[in-house]
């Protein structure tokens, strides 16, 4: 095992010389074998090892004994030790997620904290070749992205450094032979013997049959993983170039996409582009519960003939489509109604950041009014005036016609994004009659060329933007 792992470490440059390495150690055979291996090479590479152990508190006193065992082993080896007990069950119930996902979240948060404490750039974990086979099989079974089908990476970005897995080149049997040969003590977790978890069922019943038929199975799966990773690196670079036309805006927790150019791309680039955006939003830590089904649903939403729709992804990510714009955001989407008294003259600043200004002019010809202004005969305008959001059943008497039209229909006809309709300002008089839909439609209440005398001019300064000016239609 020593030779295989050493070659693998050098091939992928997993353990840099003169580095601080945090080693995730549960106390089981795999992690204790990894710790022994790294401890044996620390002087040659001038490594500082920090052992990190988390007690998930699933097994009461037994898991507490695991932590004490790891701590004692570190004291014997004169290694730095960081241990923590975390009530994962409470976290699981709070977040409404599975026990395995909750344990993973807590574990990696702890590892990150330890790395930052010691300024470590490497986190070493004890996954071996059999784990690689199990992971790829399970992802093929449940569905994943092509990157997901590549399984466990020998080295990947994490925090301000990398996660490395030196034991991927060897099997579980080789690990057990190594600990026996080197008299490495370890603890046994009885939960690994139970078939209540899918991974355990695959490990106990599927993997032995496959290994019997294909003795070098782990090597073939590792080779498959590496080929997928190489292909993905090339296609991701191509995707990033193509997606420059798709991304309209990109913030830390919010990305806005342009639907049209996305749908013109080849399907493989669509999928990879979505995956890249998800990686960005999830900060390269996509939840295990997010699968290929989510990507399929995303594409279906984009391809749908219906102009709007939404999806809810893990950890509160919302996917909101409105016409040819698609928003991915962790922000809570607000659609709170409002109503404000508009003084004459006066200014109202709205929750959206828009502002409505009212002024009295001695006269106003239509040709000098801007698109964001409307004028009303003071003598024929009922006050007080209000700025509010739309209400059920709202209708506007349109300028130049004898009829009225529902605001809902106007928003749809003018392709106003669904998210903006509930906060769009509407100007009404004391009788709740709609005087103006700023930037969209004018009403029959507006002043005409024949109007004589002072006029009320209302100006709308909007932070919201959309593609077409509709007022003059």
Return the structure tokens found at 127: 């996954």
Q: Domain for residue 12, yes or no?
A: yes
pLDDT digits (tens, 9 = 90+) for 381-425: 888 999 999 988 899 999 888 889 999 999 988 888 877 888 899
Same domain, 78 and 162: yes
Check pLDDT > 80 for residue 18. Answer: yes
Same domain, 159 and 141: yes
Same domain, 299 and 419: no
What range does the domain containing 455 cover?
339-461
Check pLDDT > 60 for residue 465. Answer: no
* Nearest-angstrom CA–CA distance, 422 and 352: 11
Looking at residue 182, which CATH number applies to its domain? 3.40.50.620
Q: Which residues are annotated as a binding site?
A: 26-31
Choose among 410, 34, 254, 90: nearest CA to 53.
34
Same domain, 32 and 150: yes
Looking at residue 325, which CATH number applies to its domain? 3.30.465.60
Helix (H, G, I), strand (E, B) or coil at 88: helix
Q: Which helix (H) or strand (E) holds 212?
A: helix 207-213
pLDDT score for 54: 96
Q: How confident is the model at residue 11 (pLDDT cuts 50, 70, 90)?
A: very high
Same domain, 280 and 207: no
Same domain, 257 and 196: no
Same domain, 272 and 176: no
Bridge partner list, 329: 254, 318
pLDDT score for 4: 93
Q: Domain for residue 114, yes or no?
A: yes
Same domain, 256 and 343: no
End of a domain among 270, 294, 329? 329
Same domain, 323 and 428: no
Q: Domain for residue 234, yes or no?
A: no
Mean pLDDT over 368-375 rounds to: 86
Same domain, 45 and 182: yes
Q: How confident is the model at residue 371 (pLDDT cuts 50, 70, 90)?
A: confident
Looking at residue 418, which CATH number applies to its domain? 3.50.40.10
User: How far is CA 123 from its chain centroid?
Assistant: 23
Q: Which residues are annotated as a binding site for ATP?
A: 26-31
Mean pLDDT over 158-164 rounds to: 93
Mean pLDDT over 33-48 rounds to: 96
* The pairing of beta strand 80-85 with beta strand 48-55: parallel
Burial class (CB in 10 A: 0-12, 13-18, 19+), 345: exposed
Mean pLDDT over 142-164 rounds to: 90
End of a domain among 228, 256, 287? 228
The count of domains in the chain is: 3
């Amino acid at each position: 095992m020593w030779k295989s792992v050493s070659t693998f470490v050098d091939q992928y440059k997993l353990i840099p010389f003169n580095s601080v390495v945090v080693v995730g150690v549960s106390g089981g055979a795999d992690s204790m074998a990894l710790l022994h291996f790294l401890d044996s090479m620390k002087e040659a590479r001038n490594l500082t090892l920090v052992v990190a152990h988390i007690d998930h508190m699933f097994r009461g006193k037994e898991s507490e004994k695991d932590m004490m065992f790891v701590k004692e082993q570190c004291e014997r080896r004169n290694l730095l030790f960081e241990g923590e007990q975390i009530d994962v069950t409470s976290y699981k119930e709070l977040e409404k997620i599975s026990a395995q996902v909750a344990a993973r979240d807590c574990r990696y948060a702890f590892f990150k904290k330890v790395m930052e404490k010691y300024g470590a750039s490497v986190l070493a974990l004890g996954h071996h070749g059999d784990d690689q086979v199990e992971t790829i099989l399970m992802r093929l079974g449940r569905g994943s992205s092509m990157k997901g089908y590549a399984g466990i990476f020998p080295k990947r970005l994490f925090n301000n450094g990398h996660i490395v897995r030196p034991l991927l080149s060897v099997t579980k049997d080789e690990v057990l032979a190594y600990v026996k040969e080197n008299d490495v003590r370890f603890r046994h977790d009885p939960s690994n013997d139970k078939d209540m978890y899918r991974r355990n069922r695959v490990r106990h019943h599927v993997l032995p049959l496959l290994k019997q038929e294909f003795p070098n199975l782990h090597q073939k799966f590792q080779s498959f993983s590496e080929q997928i990773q190489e292909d993905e690196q090339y296609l991701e670079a191509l995707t990033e170039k193509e997606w420059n036309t798709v991304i309209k805006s990109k913030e830390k927790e919010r990305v806005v996409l342009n639907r049209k150019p996305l749908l013109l791309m080849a399907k493989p680039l669509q999928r990879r582009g979505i995956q890249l955006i998800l990686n960005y939003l999830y900060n390269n830590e996509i939840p295990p519960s997010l699968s290929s089904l989510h990507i399929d649903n995303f594409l279906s939403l984009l391809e749908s003939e219906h102009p709007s729709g939404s999806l809810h992804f893990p950890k509160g990510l919302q996917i909101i489509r409105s016409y040819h714009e698609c928003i991915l955001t962790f922000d809570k989407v607000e659609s709170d109604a409002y109503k404000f008294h508009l003084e004459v003259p006066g200014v109202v600043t709205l929750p959206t950041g828009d502002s409505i200004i009212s002024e009295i002019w001695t006269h106003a010809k239509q040709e000098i009014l801007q698109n964001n202004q409307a004028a009303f005969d003071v003598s024929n305008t009922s006050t007080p005036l209000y700025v509010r959001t739309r209400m059920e059943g709202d209708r506007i008497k349109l300028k130049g016609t004898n009829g009225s039209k529902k605001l809902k229909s106007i928003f749809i006809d003018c392709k106003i994004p669904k998210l903006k309709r509930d906060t769009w300002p509407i100007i009404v008089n004391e009788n709740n009659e709609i005087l103006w839909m700023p930037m969209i439609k004018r009403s029959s209440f507006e002043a005409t060329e024949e109007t004589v005398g002072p006029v009320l001019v209302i100006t709308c300064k909007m932070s919201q933007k959309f593609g077409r000016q509709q007022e003059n239609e």
